[in-house]
Structure 1
Amino acid sequence: MPRILIPLLLLFSSFSFANSNQTVYVYAASSMTQVVERLIEKAQGQGIEVKGVYGSSSSLARQISQGAPADIFISANTQWMDYLEQQGEGVKPSINIAGNQLVVVSGNKDVRFDRLDDLSNWNKMLDGQRLAIGESNTVPVGIYAKQALQNLGVWQSLSKHTAPMKNTRAVLAMVERQQVPMGIVYVTDAKQSKQAHLVSAIPMDLYEPIKYPALLLSDRSSANQVYKALYSKEMSQYLLELGFTPLTQ
């Protein structure tokens, strides 16, 4: 190999390593996709590359516990954050950055609910078809939905007619494609969708408070910069615009 090429190869190799060293991996609940996309934009201005990995909180938490290269984790509930913190994950305690609310949505804009505790209303609207929800034992949006339906006194019957999905985006997609008459998602999902229409808000006293804790998993300065941006004033305003409720501890 010509000698002149060796320094050049070393230079390019070093440059690539420097870039990859700046990449911050944010593992986030699907309902946080837009928030992470905003982080990606802001970080670019600081010369930091951010990559988002999205899915259900349960799936992501398990991946992280098994060694996935996450620098930041944003969960859609405290249960899966507790799961990681109890294993000693995290550079510092997690911080709650946002809240959310459940709503019933439909692909039919004329569907309306007067009483959520009336099983006959649900049966009429579903008309023998299924209600799309998150998987009710592991996926946060499904866990919250189950709590709400139990407190409404309709879960025992409706549980036999659900279409459990892996995350809230999958529930929303089922509704948008009109593969199901209705689904239960976060209000932030409903706000961003043009095909899913709001049927009814579900009172927040029917389920545990929906919180999004964020955990810093790396001590790298680039990861810390991105993490701090999550609870900045600018991000709090953006969360409001999306329909989230900004939170501090």
Structure 2
Amino acid sequence: MRVSRRIWILLAALALVPADRGHAAEPVVVFAAASLKNALDDATANWTKETGKTARISYAGSNALAKQIEAGAPADLFISADQAWMDYAEKAGSLKPGSRIDLLRSALVLIATGPKTVGSDPQVALAPDLGATLTRMLGGGKLAMATIDAVPAGKYGKAALEKLGAWDSVKGQVAQAENVRAALLLVARGEAPLGIVYATDAAAEPNVHVVATFPSDSHPPIIYPAALIKESRNPDAATLLTYLRSPAARGAFERQGFTLVGTPGAGH
């Protein structure tokens, strides 16, 4: 049977249409520590401009994110604010083998309410009488910290205060927040006169100022590891992780006070 000319034309036209026409790549789902928000938003926005690919980011405390991933939450990439919760995810079998890296470094600071102005709180000497100094500055108010037994910033803060001999003096005045950004907000709103956060958080909030930087040897190193999730099937996740370690992303992180560190498998 002869096929009509009209059908031949239709078949030829269909053959010229790409099979994946209209198909958009799935966004990379990133679970990231709350303290990364400003820097990671900027870095992924730049990645989108350069590649046309997108990321969808869920920010929370590293402890909550690690447990959500363990429970099967559909993430492609995890960036923790400490090694302990990345270790947790690794032991749970949640990570893609060989993908874990140390991505960023930060510092821990003591902040007070209000922008830095003439007459604002002076720099606090982290001396043997730090406990008495903090008690005086708090004046009956609260010291805002992320949850001290679970969230990395809270654990770092408690370790630093213990190392400096001030924990026993202030532990009764600690207001624990679900993550470091929530602790930052308590100080920014004036609901707590002092708080302990990362330097990068302080840099992102105009309504607080830094009154002291904790010595790096007063707490474990503040390293942000990153890894691909084992169950991820999104090929763009590895591309994004590579980008975040590149010179192209460096500016977004350094503007917020982070330092890029590490090589594949560093520290492991």
How does the TM-score come out when normalised to structure 2? 0.83
Residues 13-92 of structure 1 aligned to structure 2 (within 5 Å): 18-19=23-24, 21-45=25-49, 46-91=51-96, 92=98
**Higher percent of residues as helix:** 1
Structure 1 unaligned segments of length 5 or more: list them. 1-13
Percent identity, please.
34
1:173 alignment counterpart? 185
Deviations 1:24-54 (A, max 9, x none): 1000001111232124313323232210100
Larger radius of gyration: 2
Give the distance between the partners of 1:177 and 1:88, measured in 2 at CA: 40
The 5 A counterparts of 1:158-169 are: 158-169=170-181
**How far off its partner does 1:111 sit?**
1.4
Alpha-carbon distance, 1:87 to partner = 1.6
Q: Secondary structure at the match of 1:183?
A: strand
- Does the aligned pair in 2 maintain the 1:39–1:226 contact within 8 Å? no
**Deviations along 1:39-88, whole A, 9 cap, x unmatched?**
43133232322101000000011001001111000000000000011122
User: Which ranges of 4 or more aligned residues in structure 1 deviate by more than 3 Å?
Assistant: none
- CA distance in structure 2 between the partners assigned to 1:221 and 1:83 by the alignment: 24
The amino acid that maps onto 1:158 is V
Instruction: Count the aligned residue pairs.
Output: 235
Task: Using the TM superposition, give the Cα deviation of residue 15 of structure 1 relative to its aligned residue in structure 2, in angstroms.
Answer: 6.9
* Inter-partner Cα distance in structure 1 for 2:21 and 2:212: 53
CA distance in structure 1 between the partners assigned to 2:111 and 2:145 by the alignment: 11
State whether structure 2 residue 254 is matched by structure 1 residue 240.
yes
SS of 1:22's partner is coil
**Structure 2 spans left out of the alignment, 5+ residues:** 1-19
Distance (Å, rounded) in 2 between the aligned partners of 1:229 and 1:244 = 16
User: Could you tell me which of 211, 223, 247 is aligned with 1:199?
Assistant: 211
Deviations 1:167-213 (A, max 9, x none): 11111100110101100000011112111011111111100000000
SS of residue in 1 equivalent to 2:148: coil
RMSD (Å), alpha carbons: 1.8
Distance 1:55 1:116, change over 3 A: farther
**How many angstroms apart in 1 are the aligned matches of 2:226 and 2:126?**
35
- Confirm whether residue 107 of structure 1 aligns to residue 118 of structure 2: no
TM-score, normalised by the number of residues in structure 1: 0.89
